[in-house]
Structure 1
């Protein structure tokens, strides 16, 4: 076996191994994303919490106990899902019962 043949074998083996672990045609789903944690630097800066009932209404721009991620204009995904994508935390999911200081009412 020559060096070129070995090199090709190694390259093809790497491609085959990658193909084994990556399913062609499989779409990424929102539920595959990690949950944002309350100690995440962005979450801390935005005062994010998983449970809106722990937030002092006086700290909100518009004191309203009904503010939560589920009724925020920035949340994405299907209504009713417990964890959903949010524009503020790309690549992570927020709890629908959560809250952060960027909360904005849905139109």
Structure 2
């Protein structure tokens, strides 16, 4: 029985590093494919959205409940926002798109 160390070149485990890198590249491409048009809009009633105080319109944020909120803070200039249009994906809400004018309590300014 042959072992991977002396396996023929077409044997799947002949180059485990190459196979690993190909797998990582394929998975990376698969996760990068979803775009804003392919994702459902985040509802303010979503449990995660509620937990983070997400509002699709940042001007509607309850200042008493979120005193650190300011009018300049919007999803569009947040570090977690991945979009370039009126809506886009957010790292905090996988598979959902958020409003560029939205806000949540996890806001972190882009560097």
TM bucket normalised to smaller: 0.5 to 0.7
* Partner Cα distance (1:32, 1:66) in 2: 28
Aligned residues, how many?
79
* Partner Cα distance (1:75, 1:49) in 2: 14
Contact 2:56 2:103 (C-alpha < 8 Å) held by counterparts: yes
1:103 correspondence with 2:104: no
- Match for residue 31 of structure 1? 37
Q: Runs of 5+ in structure 1 lacking a partner?
A: 1-26
Q: Post-superposition shift, 1:58?
A: 4.8
* Partner Cα distance (2:96, 2:87) in 1: 9
1:85 correspondence with 2:79: no
TM (norm. structure 1) is 0.66
Q: Post-superposition shift, 1:55?
A: 1.1
TM (norm. structure 2) is 0.64
Alignment of 1:3-22 (within 5 A): none
The structure with higher relative contact order (CA 8 Å, sep 6+) is 1
Q: Runs of 5+ in structure 2 lacking a partner?
A: 1-32
Q: Post-superposition shift, 1:54?
A: 0.7
Match of 2:72 among 62, 66, 81: 66
Q: Post-superposition shift, 1:29?
A: 3.2
